[in-house]
Amino acid sequence: MMPERFALGVQYDGRPWQGWQSQPGGQTVQDVLEGALGQFTGAPVRVTAAGRTDAGVHALGQVVHFDSAAQRPAHAWVRGLNSLLPGTIAVHWASPVPDEFHARFSAEARTYQYVLYVSPLRSPHLQGHTGWFYRPLDLKAMQRAADAILGEHDFSALRSAQCQAKSPIKTLHTVTIEAVGDFVLFTLRADAFLHHMVRNLVGCLIAVGRGQYAPEWVRAVVDGRDRAKAAPTFMAAGLYLARVEYPSRFTLPAPAALGTVFPGL
């Protein structure tokens, strides 16, 4: 029987894993998911993801595709794979897709959310699930800084040295920064992101929010294209791959909302 293409919506808690991408040690989300697919189908399966998340980064709306000759209804893929996956990884939905679908290259936009806990004392209960900053931040100044870099730019100043993207030019569609109780929620949507781009930008915005720099500094950093002039990469713990958007013709289900992890957000 000829293989068919399937897409999966995958959620994971990034704390136990060395990121998404397969590594020789096997302690990655891709390695574990491919192992479960191999058990479920009885044949080796390779998956392609919409984006590669780092160690400690979480996902609510990761999307992958794979080809398999196994014939299963959508609910069977979900239940069967979840029975084989550890508690920190779960398949949220499964859907057959046409051969033209590609989890990475068919994506039109990606949304990341960063959850920052703002309190004089860190919380052990939030360890690994949120970032933390110890004093209040000026959110209006942070939003002005973010608004100044919307649109298409060369984001080399926010790019890691290990980034494998062919071009540093990306289009940042929206950045919103809002206070929700003791949390600050950053929501960033772009056509695509460079390696560490979100965490580097969050670090820059926090530097503005704490009064270290004026809002105009972030635009100057981006225009300067010098990574050494930007803030340090902020901690991975609060970062979530929230949503990947595709053309409507693929009719993929919606991802889980951040409120399933943090009620009220």
Q: Classify 122 as helix, strand or coil.
A: coil
Measured distance CA(107)–CA(124) in Å, rounded: 36
Length of the chain measured in residues: 265
Neighbour tally for 132: CB within 10 Å: 16
Measured distance CA(38)–CA(161) in Å, rounded: 34
Backbone angles phi, psi at 250, to 5 degrees: -85, -15
Per annotation, catalytic residue among 13, 54, 138, 147: 54
Select from 158, 183, 173, 153 the least CA-distant residue to 263. 183
Which residue shows structure tokens 């790019």? 159
Measured distance CA(79)–CA(154) in Å, rounded: 43
Active site residue 31: no
Neighbour tally for 158: CB within 10 Å: 32
Tally: H helices and E strands in the chain: 5, 10
Residues annotated catalytic, as ranges: 54
